[in-house]
């Protein structure tokens, strides 16, 4: 049961925001969905964009310019929130734990386990909610930025039957070896579960059936926390089909994301329309 919160015409399509009840997170969740003009005539392919630490669904909608390229390619883009929110949902004073920092896992440890089930939210509740919208769930792919890049890569490698392609902007690439990872995985999960949520370890262990595109800025202020070298090593050692691009001079901001968004959407469109 979706509740339409807002609708803005954009690039001949519509940028909508919905809220709905999530069983997994036991709270109301908000998401954005861009539908290109083609969606008026039938279901269109769907690209999911997962956002990073501190973001809501809205940052990427407003700052990335994704709609322009999605309109050109005739694909829908889904913008989920990054955590459960609202009264009764636990939080932490730090920007990188709790609300805004769900890390796309199903928390097993208290107090987080009551609501922080972002893995199930994305793969079950949100997926189910899309059934009433003009998107073709048989043609999906996934991308994300920073923590959202981590989410995109780990989801895609666990569910290759769902996602035809995966890309990431400056992903948290090796969280079991970084303070952006051990802190959150430690809070949410028993250590036996961590490896299931580390893109570099999953890449070494299983890889991905479809194409992979990674962009990383050389002047990213968080390089030491992101550990892109672990993912590049794993991709190359595995002979994973894909591209790992170090982009000279770019930082971690949305200026970086928006600069390469056209490339990423063209990459996904090729897989989705193919």
The binding site for a second copy (CB under 8 A) comprises: 8-12, 15, 62-63, 65, 67-68, 217, 219, 249-251, 253-256, 258-259, 262
CB of 62 to a second copy, least distance (A): 5
Based on the residue annotation, tell me whether 91 is a catalytic residue of this protein.
no
CB–CB of 203/214 below 8 Å? no
Among residues 146, 178, 200, 230, the one annotated as catalytic is 146
Q: Which is nearer to a second copy, 171 or 217 (CB)?
A: 217
Q: Which is nearer to a second copy, 157 or 214 (CB)?
A: 214
Among residues 125, 167, 220, 268, the one annotated as catalytic is 220
Query: Measured between alpha carbons, how far is 107 from 96 in angstroms, rounded to an integer?
Result: 15
Among residues 57, 252, 264, 268, the one annotated as catalytic is 252
CB of 63 to a second copy, least distance (A): 5
Based on the residue annotation, tell me whether 230 is a catalytic residue of this protein.
no
Which residues contact residue 178 at a Cβ distance below 8 angstroms, ignoring those fewer than 6 apart?
172, 224, 225, 226, 227
Query: Measured between alpha carbons, how far is 240 from 252 in angstroms, rounded to an integer?
Result: 25
Query: Measured between alpha carbons, how far is 118 from 106 in angstroms, rounded to an integer?
Result: 6
Tokens coding 181: 């990872």
Which residues are paired to 31 by β-bridges? 18, 80
Concatenating the DSSP letter of every residue in 110-141 gives TTGGGT-BHHHIIIIIIHHHGGGSSEEEEEEE
CB of 56 to a second copy, least distance (A): 15
Query: Measured between alpha carbons, how far is 178 from 217 in angstroms, rounded to an integer?
Result: 18
Q: Which is nearer to a second copy, 109 or 221 (CB)?
A: 221
Based on the residue annotation, tell me whether 141 is a catalytic residue of this protein.
no
CB of 16 to a second copy, least distance (A): 11
Q: Which is nearer to a second copy, 12 or 179 (CB)?
A: 12
Which residues are identified as catalytic? 146, 220, 252
């Amino acid at each position: 049961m979706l509740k339409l919160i807002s609708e803005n015409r954009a690039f001949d399509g519509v940028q909508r925001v919905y809220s709905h009840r999530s069983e997994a997170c036991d709270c109301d969740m908000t998401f954005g969905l861009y539908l290109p003009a083609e969606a008026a005539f039938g279901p269109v392919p769907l690209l999911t964009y997962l956002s990073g630490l501190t973001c809501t669904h809205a940052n990427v909608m407003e700052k990335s310019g994704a709609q322009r390229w999605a309109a050109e390619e005739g694909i829908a883009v889904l913008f989920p929130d990054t955590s459960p929110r609202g009264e009764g949902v636990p939080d932490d004073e730090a920007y990188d734990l709790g609300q805004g920092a769900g890390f796309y896992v199903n928390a097993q440890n208290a107090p987080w386990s009551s609501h922080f089930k972002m893995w199930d939210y994305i793969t079950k509740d949100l997926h189910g909610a899309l059934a009433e919208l003009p998107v073709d769930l048989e043609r999906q792919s996934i991308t994300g930025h920073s923590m959202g890049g981590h989410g995109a890569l780990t989801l895609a490698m666990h569910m290759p039957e769902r996602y035809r392609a995966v890309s990431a902007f400056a992903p948290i690439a090796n969280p079991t070896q970084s303070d952006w990872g051990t802190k959150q995985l430690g809070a949410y999960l028993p250590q036996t579960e961590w490896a299931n949520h580390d893109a570099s370890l999953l890449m070494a262990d299983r890889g991905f059936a479809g194409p992979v595109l990674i962009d990383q800025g050389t002047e990213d202020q968080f390089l030491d926390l992101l550990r892109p070298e672990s993912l590049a090593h794993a991709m190359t050692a595995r002979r994973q089909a894909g591209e790992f691009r170090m982009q000279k001079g770019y930082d971690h901001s949305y200026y970086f994301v928006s600069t390469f968004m056209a490339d990423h959407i063209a990459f996904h469109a090729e897989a989705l329309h193919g």
